[in-house]
Structure 1
Amino acid sequence: MRIVVLALEGVFDTGLTVTLDAFSTANALSARLFGGTPRFNLTVVGVRRRVRTGQGLTVPVNPITPSLRPDWVIVPALKAVTPATLLSALNRPDVHEAKSHLLKWNAKGAQIGAACIGTFLLAETGLLDHREATTTWSLAPFFRQRYPHVQLDESRMLVPTGIGATAGAAMGHLDLALWLIRQASPELAGTVSRYLLADIRSSQAPYIIPNHLAQADPLILRFERWSREHLREGFSLQEAAKALATSARTLQRRCDAVLGKSPLAYFQDLRVEHAQSLLRGSGNDIEAIAAEVGYADGATLRALLRQRLGRGVREIRTELQ
């Protein structure tokens, strides 16, 4: 498999290095344990002769030539943590040039993988329009606003599509690399995971901070504050809208536009977050915690935790100790 890693100025150090380390480990293990030749022909390229990482380290890159015909192109994240810094990066000349190369490679049959902020660069090409995708959960509201035609689900860690795959925040680079290794050999991917002490994660949901997402919109922030004060009560869209001096339809539309979910779903996110906090910080049993977050019995809360986080109460308590 011929893989091109497209490194741009200000590339996220961890994202780039974990990608390279995963594939170099896979090549070494493939030759040593499975008696084969390296499975991945890896090339790091840049649109400029010199590329520095977000931490200021110089990355040796190869020039992009017409003869370069990758099977896969990986777009690591740029180091940007706010919409303002990301928007500035997306408007850079080298980023526009990179978009052009991505479109050309895709037209020639290459698949494209992107993780974290790299998904924004891929979305800028239009190749994700009308396709499912994920991105870093922390900037999902900005992604949803900027690319309304992308079917975004930031709760997922990795989403394969017809043009490649997208992965979630930061360490999603490792999930993407391991997924690609698995396409060549599930056994090799499992061995690499064990060598790197890396578990494949199917969801970003356990890492999402609801309050962070609420900061993206004044109405959603007010709704979040109201919700936290009423977690023990049954949810009413009409009562929430009335308390916020807006209409139920407006609140519904704003939640969908900013969060990609209904007001009730976000309200349940807050319940799950608070339940996790109580599991960590109190010795209360599940029935008491269920009552604290507005459920009549522990069975309902157990089901919600399993649905949202993919783990049961015992697993959550063990992880948080």
Structure 2
Amino acid sequence: MKIVVLAHNNVFDTGLAAVLDTLATANELAELESLRIPRFECVMAGVRETVQTSLGLSVPVQPAATIRQPDWVIVPALGTKMPGPLLELLDGRESHDAADQLQTWHADGARIGAACIGTFLLAESGLLAGHEATTAWWLGPLFRQQYPDVRLDERRMLVPSGDVVTAGAAMGHLELALWLVRQTSPALADMVARYLLVDTRPSQAPYMIPMHLANADPLIQHFERWARNRLHEGFSLDVAADALHVSKRTLQRRMEAVLGKSPLSYFQDLRVERAVHLLRTSRKDIESIATEIGYADGVTLRTLLRRRLGRGVRELRAVYNP
């Protein structure tokens, strides 16, 4: 299987290494176990003659335009993590040329994968239009604003959709590379994960910080501050809208447009965050924590934690209080 890794100047060192090391480990283990599966032929490519990582390391690349008919193209993250610098980088000539090259490879039959901020470069090519996707969780609001024709769900860690696949933040590169291996051999993917001590993460939700998402919009910032002081109370959209001096419709539409969720859903995110904090830093039982954040009993909170984080109370305590 021929896999092209398209490296952009300022490529995220960890993401690039995670993809290459995972596929190299898969090749080694396949040979060790005498598995009769195709090798992963990795080719480093760039639309410029030289590529430097975000930490200043030089990466040897082949000219992207000379590489024909790869099976897969992987776009690792850019090292720029904040919205302003990211938009400047995406507006540059190198990003435009990379997006054009992705379109060319895709037209020749290549499937495309991207992780973390690399998903923005893939979206710039137009190849994500109409698809489901994920991205680095803290950039979800910016992604929705820039690419409204993509069905974004940044809670998910990995989203295959047709002939494209996207992965979440940072270590999402590992998830993406393991997913590629799994398409060839689930047993080999499991072995690689064991060698690299990788636990798969089905969701980014446990890592999301609601306050960081709220910073994307002044109205949502106000809602977030208002809601944090009232987690012990029942949620009312009427009360929230009145407190923020906006209509219910305005509040709902703004939340959906920026965060892709309702005010109630975001209010529950804040409750989950507070519950996890208490599980992490206190010895309070689940009933006490439920009362503190406005639930009548621990059963409801247990259900919410399991639905949102994919983990139960015992698992969360084990993770945070080993």
- TM-score scaled to structure 2, two decimals? 0.98
Q: Aligned with 2:48: secondary structure?
A: coil
Task: Give the share of equivalent positions with the same residue, in percent.
Answer: 63
Q: Which residue does 2:237 correspond to in 1?
A: 237
Q: Aligned with 1:16: secondary structure?
A: helix
Supply the AA of the counterpart residue of 1:100.
D
* Deviations 1:223-264 (CA, angstroms, capped at 9, x unpaired): 000000110000000100100011110000000011100000
Q: Distance in 1 between matches of 2:280 and 2:157?
A: 24
> Once the 2 structures are TM-superposed, how far is the Cα of residue 189 of structure 1 from its aligned partner?
0.2
Q: Distance in 2 between matches of 1:132 and 1:38?
A: 29
Q: Distance in 1 between matches of 2:288 and 2:227?
A: 20
Q: Distance in 1 between matches of 2:278 and 2:77?
A: 34
Supply the AA of the counterpart residue of 1:135.
T
Q: Which residue does 1:271 correspond to in 2?
A: 271
Q: Which residue does 1:320 correspond to in 2?
A: 320
* Kept in 1: contact 2:9–2:51 (CA 8 A): yes
Q: Aligned with 1:234: secondary structure?
A: coil
Q: Which residue does 1:252 correspond to in 2?
A: 252
* Kept in 2: contact 1:112–1:164 (CA 8 A): yes
* Kept in 1: contact 2:47–2:98 (CA 8 A): yes
* Kept in 1: contact 2:128–2:164 (CA 8 A): no
Q: Distance in 2 between matches of 1:234 and 1:37?
A: 56
> Once the 2 structures are TM-superposed, how far is the Cα of residue 270 of structure 1 from its aligned partner?
0.2
Number of residue pairs matched by the alignment: 321
* Kept in 1: contact 2:120–2:143 (CA 8 A): yes
Q: Aligned with 2:112: secondary structure?
A: strand
Supply the AA of the counterpart residue of 1:301.
L
- Which sections of structure 2, spanning at least 5 residues, go unmatched? none
2:6 equivalent to 1:18: no
> Once the 2 structures are TM-superposed, how far is the Cα of residue 10 of structure 1 from its aligned partner?
0.4
* Deviations 1:172-219 (CA, angstroms, capped at 9, x unpaired): 000000000000000000000000000111100000000000000000
> Once the 2 structures are TM-superposed, how far is the Cα of residue 163 of structure 1 from its aligned partner?
2.3
> Once the 2 structures are TM-superposed, how far is the Cα of residue 35 of structure 1 from its aligned partner?
4.2
2:173 equivalent to 1:173: yes
- Which sections of structure 1, spanning at least 5 residues, go unmatched? none
Q: Which residue does 1:128 correspond to in 2?
A: 128
Q: Distance in 1 between matches of 2:120 and 2:65?
A: 24
Q: Which residue does 2:302 correspond to in 1?
A: 302
Q: Aligned with 1:251: secondary structure?
A: helix
Q: Aligned with 2:63: secondary structure?
A: coil
Q: Distance in 2 between matches of 1:23 and 1:262?
A: 40
Q: Which residue does 1:86 correspond to in 2?
A: 86
Q: Which residue does 2:212 correspond to in 1?
A: 212
> Once the 2 structures are TM-superposed, how far is the Cα of residue 37 of structure 1 from its aligned partner?
6.6
Q: Distance in 2 between matches of 1:13 and 1:67?
A: 23
Q: Which residue does 1:159 correspond to in 2?
A: 159
* Deviations 1:238-294 (CA, angstroms, capped at 9, x unpaired): 100100011110000000011100000000000000000111111111111000011
Q: Distance in 1 between matches of 2:22 and 2:191?
A: 11
Q: Aligned with 2:234: secondary structure?
A: coil
> Once the 2 structures are TM-superposed, how far is the Cα of residue 126 of structure 1 from its aligned partner?
1.3
* Kept in 1: contact 2:75–2:118 (CA 8 A): yes
* Deviations 1:131-152 (CA, angstroms, capped at 9, x unpaired): 1000000111000111111100
> Once the 2 structures are TM-superposed, how far is the Cα of residue 34 of structure 1 from its aligned partner?
2.9
Q: Distance in 2 between matches of 1:71 and 1:82?
A: 32
Supply the AA of the counterpart residue of 1:129.
A
* Kept in 2: contact 1:137–1:208 (CA 8 A): yes
* Kept in 1: contact 2:44–2:61 (CA 8 A): yes
> Once the 2 structures are TM-superposed, how far is the Cα of residue 154 of structure 1 from its aligned partner?
0.2
Q: Distance in 1 between matches of 2:5 and 2:124?
A: 18
Q: Aligned with 2:198: secondary structure?
A: coil
* Kept in 1: contact 2:72–2:111 (CA 8 A): yes
Cα RMSD of the aligned pairs, angstroms, is 0.9
2:50 equivalent to 1:50: yes
Q: Distance in 1 between matches of 2:172 and 2:251?
A: 32
Supply the AA of the counterpart residue of 2:168.
G
Supply the AA of the counterpart residue of 1:125.
S
Q: Distance in 2 between matches of 1:85 and 1:217?
A: 18
Supply the AA of the counterpart residue of 1:62.
Q
Supply the AA of the counterpart residue of 1:31.
E
Supply the AA of the counterpart residue of 1:166.
T
Q: Which residue does 1:9 correspond to in 2?
A: 9
* Kept in 2: contact 1:27–1:37 (CA 8 A): no
Q: Distance in 2 between matches of 1:295 and 1:158?
A: 32
Alpha-carbon spacing, 1:67–1:258, altered in 2? closer, same or farther (3 Å): closer
Q: Which residue does 1:201 correspond to in 2?
A: 201
> Once the 2 structures are TM-superposed, how far is the Cα of residue 304 of structure 1 from its aligned partner?
0.2
* Kept in 2: contact 1:30–1:38 (CA 8 A): no
Q: Distance in 1 between matches of 2:94 and 2:17?
A: 21
